[in-house]
Structure 1
């Protein structure tokens, strides 16, 4: 049995200690090299060793870690062979071209399962990487991909390549325990004796040998937004302190940034729940971030409030001894992780397919980074699901992707909705949890098989009221089945009517369910027989269709043999085609060096490098115009037309008309296909998509985003906005060139 994952520290004793035939990690390659960051030139070699990233090593351990480790962990699929295709350097990201190459290599090597804990916002099954993965599935190789870690973005934020047709997207469930690997260090209160405490190092982690006093933002251990606001003017210089901040409300980066603004170089968080977490918070000037337990932080706060000094003597988290402490997760045990990305796709395909434990998972880590670590994400839930697939392949003697997905989905257990703080009496939406949490044993033992893993009734415009699926009895005796509808929470996409951007999690949930009827609703199948079932839906009523509510639930299929399966379904009340996809107010022309994307004034003049010389070092000081497009929903096609303002020139007179607007063509970065919602930025040096350059003159840009389900050949199917007019001139010699207002 063969699985593939990203780069792995195969020299780790729990991962076999070697690479090549006969080893646990037996094949693969490095497509990029250590220095690759997503923008530099890849430097491939034959060795996929991970000694600096950690992500792939953690994934590999979840699948296949051996039992020879100090913490008693073991991979879920013992006996498999791993392939390792390195697509990340020590930092940064990666593009579709390298991901597609890795998938093709893994397929050609004969992998039985391909899994990737990688993704990015998309929502379109036609995305190039997703399309390639779909073809591999069509050729008989199951492909499981992380659903994404953007749960905060709300509905319609499916990730690629998980959003591909037939690609199995895996959501994340939180662990019932919160394991913490604590680096042992020392502290003292006042002139007292040294005491031991534990912490988990983050990124950056230059803690070795640091001895400094603690300084706290305040003494309120119940402050949910501790450190979220800029620190007051009375704050002392924090460059010689370790800043103590409670976890909660805003991002780690925001808290660290506020501390760094007052000179902080080291930040110690204390948790707001049991255990600790790995904090990623790279901020200029900050050398170390870490987290200790809630109880330890509260004890330090109490001492500081009493007027005592608290001094920490920090050990290096990469080399110092660690202890494993397991804390009970009292907040979200077994519930969907709040970070787990929501579907459906923009064409209302069901995503994710199902979920598995991914929150707070202890696994292997590169030896250079401490050998073991606790991480959270759909990156962790995906390899566990892939390992279950491997077990099922052996247990059921099948490698068919469709059969495996249907089995795992139908035997998964839906759970109730949690907003991260409290639990609802409503089942979590299918768009969040898919079929629910996987049940490997049930999938291995199931004798009733379904022909599909989920059902979509689409939106109101494309509503398909009746869908068919097949129930097959593979048992050795007759079974009588009864079907019923179990509704899940309906989630509103938009917070209020008139909103154009989906609401952030936790979006509004209501108890409004579709009505389902079944033909037949009860039937008996002899051993080896099958039955086609027609399920007809009536969408829930009383909902505000302009807010695009997404309804869902489960077809419960109960057998007289005691079996119980569920088939997830969903649909949308309202018209996705009518949804605004282009945020006109935030689509504009800015400056390449303006990180805040402020709009330039009308009639700004840009002095650009001579045609074809934008990358010459002589023009490094040139400030190019930046096209900023903000999509409030996904768009399958984004085009930007360069419109001449002075229609008297020969070029302008001869310019073709595109959807009623004269156009000289599109900037070289456009058009863009299958875009996620969010901000798209592109600098422009005057070049067009056909390789030519526009002449000096006055222009504006017409930005068009195709609406969901829109027909690209019709101009009326696009949202349209235009930038202010601006002038372009080209420099004739190397000199500092900056934009200036006026014509």
Structure 2
């Protein structure tokens, strides 16, 4: 609870509570004329998408005054969106790489080259990116900006000096990503995403996914401030739409889980106009269900998760040895000095800066021992490279024990004989840490004698990742939405991705995250749009994808985007809808129809239909969310489906319907998510349609966590909590903080004020984080989720019988705060669909 209090004030700053976005039923000019001196215009929106404005209000009365205008039809609070930080980021390292061969970078970007098989490159398609700007002077990104350049469109909506205040905005028509190297938020994120889509690098022999597209960049981040309000993002979306972008990609997000947030709604409207909006689903995969970020949570926005890469980067480690046994293994000449070159990996995907030859030592006399270096190492070794078997204890402890024994670097050998694909992130390690596989660790061990030395180089290598490792990234956020809609919809390559960086950040780098998977998918869609044949299917997600049928659709949606299959397959076979939602038990849709369309001009299609269930996701234990999710492999823990008919003949140009009758799993607890795929198989092409549903009712999931910590009342000093049966004393306006932790998302959270057990009014809507469409809390604070929510009550209220919504302050006396949250799928008019909590007595003076 002490930690809760220490960041209480940070939470209140999460939203600009005095700033609102208002949608109008008439052109915005009429509403601008009604603004008074307490209302300050921020942004205006005038397009066929949206008429409206965002306004800063000096007072709560001003907010409600404008809301009462008959032409205002929607109101959203202004909220701050974070750019997704890379799961692995090498921009803080000065040492760079030397490719081992001319093909090294071509191999590391191998997944980019599907376009070559199709003889397409995205020419004529415009892809807009909303992010931190672009260094268009990079040779791989065309070297210029404007007409005739690869980067032809864009705008800087905030300026480098933007610090979160509206007064600091210095917009310009130049979206250049040129933050100084020492900026606190200078990561080159937008330049990196742009390279994934459209780079064409002659020097290193690699390209992006669609090197022929024309790019647009709308810069929305400053150099030293990590968030941006949604009204600026909405303006950027409007500008990209008005500039004629065919595809718009966003790698940023806010707490989601619902499709009704303002930016998600704006993105969805753009989709309805025929523009494809792609958004990263988020990087909090270890935190459980119902966590797609906004705007990825938008109804028809294509939400993208991350999968691993087909190649991973490594660097060359040289071993110098005179060990006689070791020499005999590699040479018939007993007099030579062996220089063995093996691959090492780092969690930052960057080479070490140790440009010196150092002795190699092992802490144990035997190879592959358990609990290696888990205790202090008695034998000291000055300035050495220590090779340790990873495991048996915390690797941070192993590294620290090596440091205490004199090591300057640690090499962990893992338990895999194949390429070490998944490596441990050890940001707190006291030494540089490298990783090799078990086989290479044994080779290094075999080389050891008193003269064996090694050197870390910056020679970049490409290691082939085993097919078995092509899985959903552990960091990739999981769906579904709170309304049990499929998120993510599609997957893209998001691990160990190589791309461009600004020139002052060494021009290139590796990163991981769903933020890199989204532009990968955006580029693939640009390739398909070049052929002008995917308009209908891509509204939800391409059905032609590479699917791991064991993986749940809450993790992978329809699977990895398959550009080849979609390119050829859509001229032959289409399935609609592209997703089957069976909902929860109360709203169960037992029987649904799947329509199959034969688009081939001359051939009949003979289809066999099969059901492939996926592992059921156990996301709750005793109605509380599990972090991470557990996947069940028990008997009868998957759904069963009857397909009627299970084989079918469709004439050219005709369609046929299939009945899909589902029975939920029998051997699972309540509130588990079952899923799978309906697959139509022909001799020409196959198509998969994902489905999901819930055993149990969303409405039965607890909303409020109730224990010794939550809900709670905190004092303004940020140090003290009011005990459960204690009476709190406060001086207006320094009122109490209300602390709430949500176990399930809620559409509405109300805070009302009671005096003598009678409701007298509600806390004004401008107090703290917005109270609509709230995502559930996670155990920890992440890039777009909170461990809990907080609101401060200053003693102000809007009376229940006050039709003009005038804000008043309570008189001296005793009051209680009543919190009410609406259950998912609940009826606002039904009192049984609300959870209620009543605070202890609060004396206001």
TM-score band by shorter chain is 0.7 to 0.9
Contact kept in structure 2, 1:643 and 1:664, CA below 8 Å = no
Aligned equivalents of 1:519, 1:493: Cα separation in 2: 30
Question: How do 1:688-727 residues align onto structure 2 when only pairs under 5 Å count?
Answer: 688=796, 691-727=807-843
Between the aligned partners of 2:828 and 2:219, the Cα distance in structure 1 is 37
**CA distance in structure 2 between the aligned counterparts of 1:204 and 1:329, rounded to whole angstroms:** 15
Q: Deviations over 1:613-658 (max 9, x none)?
A: x8xxxxxxxxx743321111111112223444xx3xxxx97x537x
Change (3 A) 1:572 1:221: farther
Aligned equivalents of 2:177 and 2:669: distance in 1?
A: 49
Q: What secondary structure, in the 3-state scheme, does the structure 2 residue paired with 1:410 have?
A: coil
Contact 1:473 1:529 in 2 (8 A): yes
Match for 2:628 among 498, 504, 510?
A: 504
| Inter-partner Cα distance in structure 2 for 1:19 and 1:81 | 11
- How far residue 664 of structure 1 moved from its aligned partner, in angstroms, is 6.3
Is 1:514 the counterpart of 2:630? The answer is: no
| Distance (Å, rounded) in 1 between the aligned partners of 2:158 and 2:398 | 31
Q: CA deviation at 1:508?
A: 3.6
1:316-331 matches, cutoff 5 A = 322-330=458-466
- Which of 348, 371, 392 is the equivalent residue of 2:507? 371
Does 1:656 pair with 2:760? yes
The structural deviation recorded for 1:347 is 0.6
Q: 2:175 aligns with which of 25, 48, 58?
A: 48
> Relative to 1, partners in 2 of residues 1:110 and 1:570: Cα closer, same or farther, differing over 3 Å?
same
Alpha-carbon deviations, 1:28-81, whole Å to 9, x = none?
1222333446678544333322242222222111111103232x3211112100
Q: Which residue of 2 aligns with 1:621?
A: none
Q: Which residue of 674, 678, 684 corresponds with 2:792?
A: 684
1:393 equivalent in alignment to 2:529: yes
Give CA-to-partner distance per residue, 1:406-454, whole Å, 9 cap, x none: 6x632112115xxxxxxxxxx1111111111121111111111223221
Distance 2:413 2:495 in 1: 15
Q: 1:429 aligns with which of 540, 552, 555?
A: 552
Paired residues of 1:200 and 1:277 also in contact (CA < 8 A): no
Aligned residue runs from structure 1 range 196-595, under 5 A: 274=419, 322-330=458-466, 333-395=469-531, 397-398=532-533, 400=535, 402-405=536-539, 409-416=542-549, 427-446=550-569, 447-494=572-619, 496=621, 498-510=622-634, 512-531=637-656, 533-546=657-670, 548-559=671-682, 561-585=683-707, 586-587=709-710, 588-591=712-715
2:643–2:661 contact (8 Å) kept in structure 1: no
Task: Specify the SS of the correspondent of 2:702.
Answer: coil
- C-alpha displacement of 1:686: 0.9
The CA distance in 2 between the partners of 1:482 and 1:93, in whole Å, is 50
* Structure 2 CA distance for partners of 1:209 and 1:98, relative to 1, 3 Å: farther
2:213 to 80, 87, 93: 80
> Could you tell me which residue of structure 2 aligns to residue 3 of structure 1?
127
Point out the more displaced range, 676-685 or 351-360.
676-685
Summarize the Cα distance change of 1:201–1:493 in structure 2 as closer, same or farther, 3 Å threshold: closer
> How many angstroms does 1:247 deviate by?
8.2
| SS of alignment partner, residue 127 of structure 2 | strand
C-alpha separation between the residues in 2 aligned to 1:287 and 1:359? 25
Q: CA deviation at 1:269?
A: 8.4
The structure-2 alpha-carbon separation of the partners of 1:322 and 1:717, relative to structure 1 and needing over 3 Å to count, comes to same
CA distance in structure 2 between the partners assigned to 1:461 and 1:126 by the alignment: 23
Counterpart position of 2:61: none
Q: Which position in structure 1 is the counterpart of 2:143?
A: 17
Alignment of 1:621-636 (within 5 A): 625-636=736-747
Return the offset for 1:526.
2.2
SS in 1 for 2:509: strand
| Whole-angstrom distance in 1 between the partners of 2:226 and 2:371 | 29
Name the CA distance, whole Å, in 2 between partners of 1:244 and 1:723: 57
| Residues 290 and 478 in structure 2, CA contact (< 8 A), matched pair in contact too | yes
1:450/1:330 Cα in 2 relative to 1: closer, same or farther (>3 Å)?
closer
Distance in structure 2 (CA, Å) of the matches to 1:287 and 1:32: 39
Deviations 1:229-256 (A, max 9, x none): 9x99x99xxxx9999999889999x999
- Where in structure 2 are the equivalents of 1:612-627 lying within 5 Å? 625-627=736-738
- The alpha-carbon deviation at position 270 of structure 1 amounts to 5.5
- The structure showing larger relative contact order (alpha-carbon pairs under 8 Å, at least 6 residues apart) is 2
Cα deviation for residue 204 of structure 1 reads: 14
Question: How far off is 1:702 after superposition?
Answer: 2.5
1:364 Cα deviation (Å)? 1.4
Whether the aligned pair in 2 keeps the contact of 1:500 and 1:581 (CA below 8 Å) is no
TM-score by length of 1: 0.76
- How far does residue 575 in structure 1 lie from its aligned partner after superposition? 0.5
Segment of structure 1 superposing worse, 708-717 or 684-693: 684-693
- Residue 618 of structure 1 corresponds to none
Distance 2:523 2:348 in 1: 29
User: Which secondary structure does the structure 1 equivalent of 2:275 belong to?
Assistant: coil
Structure 1 runs not aligned, ≥5 long: 189-193, 315-320, 417-426, 615-623, 658-662, 730-743
Q: Distance in 2 between matches of 1:92 and 1:226?
A: 41
Is the Cα–Cα contact under 8 Å of residues 490 and 549 in structure 1 kept in the other structure? no
CA distance in structure 2 between the partners assigned to 1:177 and 1:563 by the alignment: 28
**1:110 paired to 2:235:** no
User: 1:340 offset after TM fit, Å?
Assistant: 1.5
Q: How many residues align?
A: 667
1:196 deviates by 11
Instruction: Report the 3-state secondary structure (helix = DSSP H, G, I; strand = E; otherwise coil) of the residue aligned with 2:560.
Output: coil
3-state SS of paired residue (2:263): helix
Structure 2: how far apart are the matches of 1:333 and 1:37?
42
Distance 2:162 2:421 in 1: 31
Cα distance, 1:204–1:330 mapped onto 2, change above 3 Å: closer
SS of the residue 1:390 aligns to: helix
Distance 1:293 1:466, change over 3 A: same
Q: What is the SS of the residue equivalent to 2:270? A: helix
SS of 2:228's equivalent in the other structure is: coil
Change in 2 beyond 3 A, CA 1:147/1:246: farther
* Contact 2:313 2:349 (C-alpha < 8 Å) held by counterparts: no
Matches within 5 A, 1:148-227: 148-180=282-314, 182=315
CA distance in 2, matches of 1:39, 1:301: 56
1:391: how far off?
0.8
C-alpha separation in 1, matches of 2:301 and 2:393: 33
- Give the whole-Å Cα distance in 1 for the aligned partners of 2:386 and 2:215: 43
**Cα deviation per residue 1:113-161 (whole Å; 9 max; x = unaligned)?**
1111222442101122111111110111111111221111222222221
Give 1:700 deviation, angstroms: 3.7
State the SS of the aligned residue for 1:513: coil
In the aligned structure 2, how far is the partner of 1:117 from the partner of 1:485?
36
